[in-house]
Structure 1
Amino acid sequence: MAPPPTKTEMAPLATAEDALPTPPGIDERLFVASVAKAMKVLEAFDRTSTNLSLSDIAIRTGLGRSASQRFIYTLERLGYLDRDEPTKRYALSRKVFRFAHQAASSNIGLEAAYPAMRELAEQTRETISWVEVDGAEIVIIATVPSTHISSVNLPVGTRFPALSSSSGQMLLAHSAPSHVEKVWAASHPSVPQRTKAANAAEMMRILETVKGIGFAVTEKNMEQGSISVSAPVHDRAGRAIGAINLSTLTTRYDRASAIRDLAPVVARAALKATETLIS
């Protein structure tokens, strides 16, 4: 762990540029802005940027160099950031995994779905994931890897725009239109192009279609072309709380064969998980 900065190394006290705007709908009497800023520092790290300098973090968070330095120092002292002395770059520490483990181990939807996911993985040999919606994105909560040499890799924590993903479409299809409009407004600019929907109304028609058939299928152009098939898992109240997703490569299935051969088994796995959850 790095020693505390000396007086000559320390950045100046916070300035107006370090302040972040308060999110809408927030009660400022209860909102602790410093906690929000600390979380923003942690959220600066992602799959493509696992090691960041002080300057990188200041730019990514918009906090300014002085505030970033203080939050980095605090988070490092608490054990949530690691510092590489030769490069003076920072990374999330192993302590952060504590939260991921606790979130996954207390997820009753995942607990109910996992046996069906394992069975589906054995049956198809494809990548099977438990997916949930987080705002305008989906997040991979758990994955059973494919046994194929070439396969889709979906590490836990991976995120995609919800409306252009099969899991997101399947889950948002069970949401109120007003919520879908909010998600559309907050979505990544790639969503209209990928979904071919020009506005929220057209997107809702797409969602109504997938809701009616009980599964959704989307295609992605990553390192290799891939196809994603998803079906929802419901709780006792009938809410779609998560989706079972199967991801495969277009070298093994095209869209038509994925709908014919994969969608029915994914839908059965989701139904089995739902029955386990509500039993």
Structure 2
Amino acid sequence: MRNTQKGEYGVRPVIDIDEDDPLFVQAIGRAMQVLSAFHEAGRPLTLNEIAAIAGVGKSAAQRVVHTLRQLGFIERDADDRGYLPGIRILDFTRDYLRLNPLVSRASPVLLELRRSVRERVDLSLVDGLRLVYATRLQSKRETFFATLVGQSVPIYCTSGGRAVMAHLSDAEVDDVIARSDRREITPKTITDPERIWAKVHEARENGFALAVEEILLGEVAIATAVLAPDGRPLGAIHVAASLSEWDAETFCRRFAPLAVEAAGAINRLGTR
């Protein structure tokens, strides 16, 4: 069973072992709990820290860490201060990206969009109350976190999240808002349910969503949803830029039609 924990920008997945499921392999569950301990780590973790964050006993953590280290999925820090995820974790990232049909069909469309807008272009995928970036095509200036595939942001306060919510039922939107950890990530983050709903209505009317400085100060972002053949939102295309170069109105006028066109192209490819 997957649960969530608070992270820098919203929620991150953690693993809960379901002891009542006869098909659930508890040893694998514990291994994933241990790997999940690194989600919000800002430095190498000691064995005691891994055990505490993962919610497992020190003896169990030691056995799991040893096994994962032997397999290359955990390694010692170069200065021997603790443990870090191992390089073989990247094999799974590659497998996911190359075998995900949405990422595959979206890639050429995103590359063309990036050439047209010359600003950052992202593709995010829905995972519970968050969006996870699966593709990140950079602009001329970025912070480190903005370059990372796998970085996640909450749905409730992001352009991509509002684009996704615009394609949900009213009851589903209410549920997302109610279950979200609606905290201020920046002083501009909208957390009030009525104001979030106003942004969702705006996205439904315009066909794209807008967020200004709600995740990162100085950033403006627009997004439009990518959909399954049945109309369910799978994720979103984002275009983001600096407010030092664009005001929100001009940015929307210039780039929203291109983002909407790109999402439409991806959606049409998914029905073939």
TM-score bucket (shorter structure):
0.7 to 0.9
Match of 2:117 among 105, 110, 124: 124
Q: What is the SS of the residue equivalent to 2:213?
A: strand
| Cα distance between partner residues in 2 of 1:75 and 1:29 | 24
| Cα distance between partner residues in 1 of 2:157 and 2:54 | 26
User: 2:156 touches 2:182 (CA, 8 Å); kept in 1?
Assistant: no
Match of 1:255 in 2: 248
| Cα distance between partner residues in 1 of 2:81 and 2:129 | 34
Letter in 1 for 2:35: L
Match of 1:82 in 2: 75
How many residues matched?
255
Query: How far is the alpha carbon of 1:262 from its aligned partner?
Result: 1.6
Provide closer, same or farther for how the CA distance between residues 197 and 223 of structure 1 changes in structure 2, counting only shifts above 3 A: closer
Query: How far is the alpha carbon of 1:234 from its aligned partner?
Result: 2.2
Match of 2:92 among 99, 118, 132: 99
Match of 1:36 in 2: 29
Match of 2:160 among 164, 167, 171: 167
Match of 1:110 in 2: 103
| Cα distance between partner residues in 1 of 2:91 and 2:16 | 30
Match of 1:17 in 2: none
Q: Can you give the 5+ residue segments of structure 2 that lack an aligned partner in the other structure?
A: 1-14
Scaled by the length of structure 1, the TM-score of the pair is 0.80
Identity %: 27
Q: What is the SS of the residue equivalent to 1:252?
A: coil
Match of 2:261 among 248, 254, 268: 268
Query: How far is the alpha carbon of 1:236 from its aligned partner?
Result: 2.3
| Cα distance between partner residues in 1 of 2:133 and 2:155 | 11
Query: How far is the alpha carbon of 1:28 from its aligned partner?
Result: 2.7
Provide closer, same or farther for how the CA distance between residues 50 and 247 of structure 1 changes in structure 2, counting only shifts above 3 A: farther
Match of 1:198 in 2: 192
User: 1:41 touches 1:68 (CA, 8 Å); kept in 2?
Assistant: yes
Query: How far is the alpha carbon of 1:67 from its aligned partner?
Result: 2.5
Q: What is the SS of the residue equivalent to 1:94?
A: coil
Q: What is the SS of the residue equivalent to 2:109?
A: helix
Query: How far is the alpha carbon of 1:135 from its aligned partner?
Result: 0.9
Letter in 1 for 2:42: S
Q: What is the SS of the residue equivalent to 1:217?
A: strand
Q: What is the SS of the residue equivalent to 2:231?
A: coil
Q: Indicate the structure (1 or 2) with the bigger Cα radius of gyration.
A: 1
| Cα distance between partner residues in 1 of 2:172 and 2:33 | 25
